[in-house]
Structure 1
Amino acid sequence: MKIKSYLYSQLSLSFLPIFLGLYFITSIIFLVKIASLTSVITIDAYELFKLYLYSVPKIIFFTVPISFFISLVITLAKLSSEYELIVITSFGLNPLKILKIFFPATFLLSIALIIVSVGLIPKTNYLTESFLEVKKKEANFNIKASEFGQKFGDWLIYIDAKDDKKYEKVKLFKTDNKLDQFIIAQSAVLDNKEGNLSFKLIDGKAFYISHEELNQINYRTMDINDSITSKKKYTFTNSYDYWNYYLSKGQDIDDFTFYILTSIFPLISLFLVVAFGYYNPRYEKNRAIALSLIAIVIYYILTKYLTKNVLLHSLYIAPILWSIGTYILYSKLTKKLY
């Protein structure tokens, strides 16, 4: 138990700096990407922070697998460089037994990453797209005071004054072959209802004019909705329905498989941990970090290729190929010596 606690304590010392560093760098990249949206839409500090929160599951998904794998390798490499692995091995803990110690934490981490990637990322992607769609519609809806010929959906609109999303002395007019509609309001507010823009008209009158009659309605409040339909083809309910909908249509299969294969990367790479982490500091140099980075690049290229070409079959092809390859490498580099 003491050796197990010691190994996990060393792992935490390696993991936290690497994870925080990668998280900070990735956050900067996402923030720059979000800030670039200001060329298209206007967002305040709260909305910027809101979009960043939507990006957190993606940041965690991209940083945690790499951080954890490198941390495992560095932990064993550090123990090797300080001759502590030799002492640990003398107590009967061979590489496979050390892997058994790290296996539960790695397994739980992979499950958590699957939940984040397959469960949370679709939801945050949908929220981000919905938010941006609304902001773009608001940006396109740029009604100026005292100008004719402006439109809100099917309505011609004229306003006397404007203060942000509040409008004064509003006139709306719409006509077709049988009926003309004319609405006046003392004031109005542009409202966002779950992604649909609407005008809330306050204190006014509505006139409905046909060839035979004229009707007048006095109102306290009236909502005029934007008739432009949303471009979203799917309304998010939960992650299971989301993937069931798109996978049944043969869409987003590469994303689904990539999420899962990336999530299980630390789990199916445990043989690489001992293959790269075990070395004799008297005769060998510490190449753990360089070898780990090469392995990460190879794995990501392999998964990208397989997810694009064999789709759902990559869910078993990639882990089998990777596990066999890493075990062969472990057998040649570590198993025969320790």
Structure 2
Amino acid sequence: MKLKQYLFSQLAITFFPIFLGLFFITSVVFLVKIASLTSVITLDFLELFTLFSYVIPQIVFYTMPISFFLSLVITLAKLAGEYELTVITSFGLNPINILKIFAPITLLLTAMLLVISVGLIPKTKFLTKQFLEKKKKEANFNIKASEFGQKFGDWLIYINAKDEKVYDDVKLFKTDKKNDQFIISQTAVLDNDKGSLSFKLNDGKAFIIDSKEFNQIDFKSMYINDSIADSKLGIFTDTYSYWKDNIKRNDNIDDLTFFILTSFFPFLSLFLVITFGYFNPRYEKNRAVFYSLISVVLYYVLIKSIGDKILLHAIYIIPVVWISGTYLLYSQTIKKEY
């Protein structure tokens, strides 16, 4: 029990600096991308924070597997360099026993990554697109007072004054082959409900003119709904329905395989942890970090190059290939010596 606590404490000492460092660097990259949106739309601090909160699951997903794998390798390599692994081995704990100690926490991390990647990321991406569409619609509807030639969808619009989203003395005109429509309103309010844009007119008159009739309608309130652009986002009900529909349409399958295989990376690479972490400091140099980085790059290249081609089949083919290869490497190196 004390040995487990000691190993976990050493892992925590290594893991948190690496994870927080990668988290900070990745956060800066995403913040720069978010800040670049201000050239298209106007965002206040709260809206910037909202957008950043939507990308936090992605940041965690991209940094956590690499951080945890590197931390495991560095922890064992540090213990080996200080001859502590030699002492632990002399008490009868071979590399496989060490592997069994770290396996449960690694499996728990994998489950958490699956929830984040398959469950949270699609939802937060949808919320991000919905938020940006809402802001872009507001940016498109930038009506200025006392200017002619401005449009709201198919309507020509003219206003005398404007205060935030409240417009005074509004006049709208639209013509087509059948008739002409003219609307005057004392006030109007722009409403943007989760990307659904509407224009509420208060206390006005509507005139419909064709070749035979002239009709007038007096109204207390009138809505012109989403005249600029219709939403193409659809709806997001739940994660299961989202992936079920995508599999039916054969859409975004490469993302699903990438999410699943990346989530399993730390667990699938446990044989590499003991292969790179165990070394004799009297005869060998500590190249654990170098070998680990090569393994990370190789795994990600593998799941992107092969996974994008064989799609769902990669979920069982790549793990079998990776575990077989890493176990073979372990059996040819560390297993013979310990």
Moved over 6 A (4+): none
Q: Secondary structure at the match of 1:143?
A: coil
Match of 1:272 in 2: 272
- Counterpart in 2 of 1:217? 218
Displacement of 1:177 in angstroms is 4.1
What is the aligned partner in structure 2 of residue 313 from structure 1?
A: 313
What is the percent sequence identity of the aligned residues? 65
Contact 2:153 2:229 in 1 (8 A): no
Paired with 1:173 and 1:150, the residues of 2 have a C-alpha distance of: 11
Residue 296 (structure 1) aligns with: 296
Within the alignment, does 1:283 sit opposite 2:286 as a pair?
no
Per-residue deviation, residues 67-125 of structure 1 (Å, max 9, x unmatched): 00000001111111111111111111111011111111100110110110011110011
How many residues get paired? 337
Does the 8 Å contact 2:110/2:263 carry over to 1? Answer: yes
Q: Residue 223 of structure 1: SS of its match in structure 2?
A: strand
Aligned to 1:160: 160
Which residue number in structure 2 is paired with residue 322 of structure 1?
322
* Partner residue in 2 for 1:9: 9
1:171 partner SS: strand
Deviations 1:24-49 (A, max 9, x none): 00000000011111121111111111
Contact 1:253 1:307 in 2 (8 A): no
Matches within 5 A, 1:107-256: 107-210=107-210, 211-219=212-220, 221-232=221-232, 234-256=234-256
Contact 2:134-2:196 within 8 A present in 1 as well: yes
Q: Which amino acid aligns with 2:23?
A: Y
Deviation at 1:166, TM superposition (A): 2.5
Q: What is the alpha-carbon root mean square deviation over aligned residues?
A: 1.5
Give the match for residue 76 of structure 1.
76
Classify the secondary structure of the residue corresponding to 2:333: helix
Gaps of 5+ in 2: none
> Is the contact between residue 138 and residue 192 of structure 2 (CA under 8 Å) also seen in structure 1?
no
Name stretches of at least 5 consecutive residues in structure 1 with no aligned partner. Answer: none
Q: Cα 1:47–1:20, aligned 2, differ >3 Å: closer, same or farther?
A: same
Q: With the length of structure 2 as denominator, give the TM-score of the two structures.
A: 0.96
Deviation digits for residues 228-286 of structure 1, max 9, x if unmatched? 44352531111111111111111111111000000000000000000000111111111
3-state SS, counterpart of residue 310 of structure 1: helix
Q: Which of 109-118 and 148-157 deviates more?
A: 148-157
Q: Secondary structure at the match of 2:337?
A: coil
Judging changes above 3 Å, is the alpha-carbon distance between structure 1 residues 240 and 117 closer, same or farther for their aligned structure 2 residues?
A: same
Q: Is the 8 A contact 2:130 2:233 kept in 1?
A: no
CA–CA separation in structure 2 for the residues paired with 1:262 and 1:180? 59
Q: CA deviation at 1:198?
A: 1.0
Other structure's SS at 2:306 match: helix
Q: Partner amino acid for 2:314? A: S
- Give, in angstroms, the shift of residue 168 of structure 1: 1.7
Matches within 5 A, 1:32-43: 32-43=32-43
**Residues 198 and 223 in structure 2, CA contact (< 8 A), matched pair in contact too:** yes
User: What is the CA–CA distance in structure 1 between the aligned matches of 2:296 and 2:287, rounded to whole Å?
Assistant: 14
Work out whether residues 195 and 231 of structure 2, in 8 Å CA contact, stay in contact via their aligned partners in 1. no
Change (3 A) 1:118 1:3: same
Letter paired with 1:271 = F
Contact map agreement 1:152 1:226 (CA 8 A) in 2: no
Identify the range of structure 1 (75-84 vs 196-205) with the bigger mean alpha-carbon deviation: 196-205
